[in-house]
Amino acid sequence: MQKKSVKDLNLKGKKVLMRADFNVPLDESGNITDDIRIRAALPTVEYILSQGGKLILMSHLGRPKGEVKENMRLTPVAKRIQELLNKPVKKLNDCIGPEVRDAVNDIKEGEILLLENLRFYKQETKNDPEFGKQLASLGDVFVNDAFGTCHRAHASTEGVTHYLESASGFLLQKEIDYFQKINTSAEKPFVLILGGAKVADKIPVIENMLNKVDTILIGGAMAYTFLKQTGVDIGSSRYEEDMADTSKSILDKAKQKNVEIMLPIDHVVCDNIDEPKNITVTSDANIKTGLIGVDIGPKTVEVFQEKIKNAKTIVWNGPMGIFEKDEFSKGTKAIAQAMAESSATSVIGGGDSAAAVKKFGLSNKMSHISTGGGASLEYLEGKTLPGVAALTDL
């Protein structure tokens, strides 16, 4: 897919409607606790302003479900953008209507407006054509830089593109470039690392990637369902019975396609996840009755690290254990460090993996950390993202 980028647009004197992902975490006092999503949008914001664009920013925040929620207003976001750019940001109290239209008509080159939370309207997530048309009427051109929402056809991502010339911002373009390369021309050996809780969440990814990768390393709670299919005792670890046949089928398909699937050969286990009194490491892949697998063990770390070391492309989605608890985080940390030390193209698929890499202070050692967990998963599943497909073709 060859889509227009913001650099392909003539922005001078134009009202530029830009969809960003300012869905940032707030504390109880309404202060932003992590502004990474705001910072990620700034290169596109600064470029539009430098080209003489009149910038109208829009985003959602939280899940207000079509109601005005005072604690989900975008006021803290406007304040933070203002601080980061050292430039005034006018925050509006709505995203459509006469007051918004008047403010937009008054905007001058190099100025910034921020519309109120889009999801105060149910029409946003329903991709209501009239709502999309009202949003589109605010701009001359549209720039989408909100990768995290591109897997949903919403009014502000897909609806507006029916009325305006549309292009990707720098952040979205980077995401498109990395994931298209992964799906079509990744350098080999290509290693896919999957973890997290549910097998069901990752089956479409495995199905698509079996045609592209050389090795799949599986950790996290999802590994136990696969291990059970190979005759291993998994103790009281998480087991998805409804995924048993699917897991077996995946292992068979991988064998047919000559793709190596590596499962843990030892584990960190405990008797109780919330109040662990007995944390031990198993001698092999089997887990005794009454014990729960909570992380990959040191032998598994070693063989996984060896595969990572020799890879040319690595994609990681899902932690190896309950990394939020320090005593269960060693496996996830070791995988992150191995990727950081690798010379391969390393892509982190957003979500918990991105949080883990950040926790261990290794974010700047990765080639690319996706800003959208759900969107990156759908790319890895080989799906077309509505928010990307809707952009104007080159």
Give catalytic residue positions.
Answer: 37, 198, 351, 374
Q: Is residue 214 within 8 Å of residue 190, measured between CB atoms?
A: yes
How far is CA 268 from each of CA 122, 192, 226, rounded to the nearest angstrom?
45, 22, 17
Q: Is residue 19 within 8 Å of residue 144, measured between CB atoms?
A: yes
Give the span between the Cα atoms of 206 and 191, in whole angstroms. Answer: 12
Give the span between the Cα atoms of 169 and 268, in whole angstroms. Answer: 43
CB atoms within 10 A of CB 389: 15
Residue 50's contacts (CB-CB under 8 Å, 6 or more residues apart) are none
Give the span between the Cα atoms of 358 and 196, in whole angstroms. Answer: 17
Residue 15's contacts (CB-CB under 8 Å, 6 or more residues apart) are 53, 54, 56, 104, 107, 138, 139, 140, 141
Query: What sign has the CA pseudo-torsion 263, 195, 171, 38?
Result: negative
Return the closest-CA partner of residue 219 out of 104, 307, 101: 307
Give the span between the Cα atoms of 108 and 311, in whole angstroms. Answer: 50
Return the closest-CA partner of residue 224 out of 195, 204, 249, 201: 195
Return the closest-CA partner of residue 299 out of 326, 273, 331: 331
How far is CA 41 from each of CA 36, 59, 61, 221, 309, rounded to the nearest angstrom?
9, 11, 15, 34, 33
